[in-house]
Amino acid sequence: MSSFGGKSAADVQASAESDSFGYHRFAVCLTRNGRLIALDAGSSGRIVWNVPVWDHARDISSSPVLKSLPDGTVEISDLEIDNSGTPPLVVDAATGEILTRDAIRDRRTMAEDATAALVEKPTSVYYTLETGELCGKLDQKDAPLQELWRFSPSKGETIVNVTSRPSTDPVASIGKVLGDRRVLYKYLNPNIVLVTTISTAAQTATVYLLDGISGTILFSNSHAGIDTTHPIPSTLSENWFAYSYAIDTASSSASKGHQLVVGELYESPFPNERDSPLDPRPRANHSTLHSTPSPHVISQTYNIPEAISHLAVTQTRQGITSRHLLAVLPASNSLIEIPRSAIDPRQPVGRDPTSAELAEGLERYNPVLDFDPRWTLNHRREAVGIRAVRTTAATLESASLVFAHGLDVFGTRVSPSAGFDVLGADFSKVQMLGTVLALAVGTVVVAPLVASKQINAVWQFS
């Protein structure tokens, strides 16, 4: 039976079976009027199914939580409903069917059995805000949550943003190869957390980089003259981070307008030198409290033409493709993709790049970053009221799926390193088959001649 405004179940199954590139991912959206809608990212956002998930008269909170689970279901939980003893609502992600308790139990039992046969439940660290402090808690199998550490901001500061590395953030290379073939080793800590605090009275913003296991401050950076009424979005991926803020117009700072800060983390400032936490040798940049190696941070600031409300990073399956920065521009109602090469903090300052730096693709640092119109993903369409940007990997390594949602919904597919694993549109199968056939015929014709020549050569030397 066809779902409202979308495909039939047979069409959905056919799309999934023919989806060799991994483009047909479902984006499941929960609307304010209580409907759950699945959009097919590989079919221009066509509606797959559309179902009501609760009665309009039901008393719900203003911010229900929507989660995608490994067993192929979508769970809608609400704080008020959960506290009243009502279980979360669970929907089959493929069909939109609201599942009964028995169906949920059977499905999750099968999923847990399959998972247990492959790998045990991993140990995870959760971050929660409690009475103005950031708390790190350890979640182990068959054990209650254990508090590991608490981070308290300085007096007068308030935590406004907490960003951690994505749970799926593959790393293809542990180092960056320089133009002279030396290597800068990346600081790859999967448990780092970026915490942003503001002080309204002092008009300052401070960014802290924490170790998620010990709570140690690995790096911090403060900015004065900040307009604290504007959002300070941030993102974190692999060994780099980015955040943006606005300068108060009444500030005495020489810089005005909006700023974008990008930083990279390395094990050491020197090429070919590692600073591994497993290395027993003492290093100067080790934290004495927890013996946690601190990263060498290279950061750079850019003046940008308009405010950024949200930041995200493209994701691919193996992490081989370059990661680009995604930014939402509320003033122009657009979503842009900023290449990493344009905001590389290792760009030389006050001089032209050397031949080795040119080989890396580095350009001379320019404090003003103009947004190239070619970076705009939604082109002439406006994306109004975007509140979040989600990214996920396709089956193709070169492709990343982007989904922005808010008042408007926008989805697209990007290729940060171009389609290096896809044949071009000008590739001719007929020409390829003709070439292979010609080589086969040539081999058949030439083979007897070569054999005869070899026999004659043997007789001449006899």
Instruction: Determine how β-strand 175-177 pairs with β-strand 158-164.
Output: unpaired
> Would you state the pLDDT for residue 90?
85
Residue with tokens 């304010």: 32
Contact between 324 and 314 under an 8 Å Cβ cutoff? The reply is yes
Beta-carbon contacts of residue 180 (< 8 Å; ≥ 6 apart): 356
HSE at residue 130, side-chain half, CA atoms within 13 A, is 10
Give backbone dihedrals phi and psi of 2, rounded to 5 degrees, phi first. -70, 140
> Would you state the pLDDT for residue 83?
47
Strands (E), 16-64: 26-30, 35-40, 46-52
CA distance 421 to 18: 18
Q: What is the DSSP letter of 172?
A: S
> Would you state the pLDDT for residue 378?
92
Contact between 194 and 127 under an 8 Å Cβ cutoff? The reply is no
CA distance 23 to 403: 12
User: What token pair was written down for 348?
Assistant: 């030389």
User: What token pair was written down for 319?
Assistant: 């992490």
Closest C-alpha to 301, from 222, 185, 227, 354: 222
Other CB atoms within a 10 A radius of the CB of residue 131 amount to 7
Give backbone dihedrals phi and psi of 12, rounded to 5 degrees, phi first. -60, -45
> Would you state the pLDDT for residue 58?
53
Q: For every residue of 343-368, which 3-state class applies, written as one string?
A: HCCCCCCCCCCCHHHHHHCCCCCCCE
- Which neighbouring-strand residues pair with 130? 133
Other CB atoms within a 10 A radius of the CB of residue 398 amount to 19
Per-residue pLDDT of the chain (462 residues; tens, 9 = 90+): 222 233 444 444 445 556 678 888 888 888 887 888 999 988 888 999 998 876 644 555 556 778 888 778 888 876 444 444 556 788 888 888 888 776 777 676 666 655 554 456 567 888 888 888 999 988 877 778 888 999 999 899 999 999 999 888 899 999 999 988 999 999 999 999 999 999 999 899 999 999 999 999 999 999 999 999 999 999 999 999 999 999 988 777 777 789 999 999 999 999 999 875 544 444 444 444 445 678 999 999 999 999 999 999 999 999 999 999 999 999 999 999 999 999 999 999 999 999 999 999 999 999 999 999 999 999 888 999 999 999 999 888 989 999 999 999 999 999 998 888 777 777 788 888 899 999 998 888 888 888 888 888 777 765
Instruction: Determine how β-strand 158-164 pairs with β-strand 386-393.
Output: unpaired
> Would you state the pLDDT for residue 122?
63
Beta-carbon contacts of residue 441 (< 8 Å; ≥ 6 apart): none
> What are the angstrom distances between the C-alpha of 173 and each of 183, 186, 322, 393?
11, 9, 11, 18
- Which neighbouring-strand residues pair with 311? 327
> Would you state the pLDDT for residue 87?
65
Residue 248, judged by CB atoms within 10 A of its CB (0-12, 13-18, 19+), counts as middle
What fold is seen in the domain 1-119? Answer: Thrombin, subunit H (2.40.10)
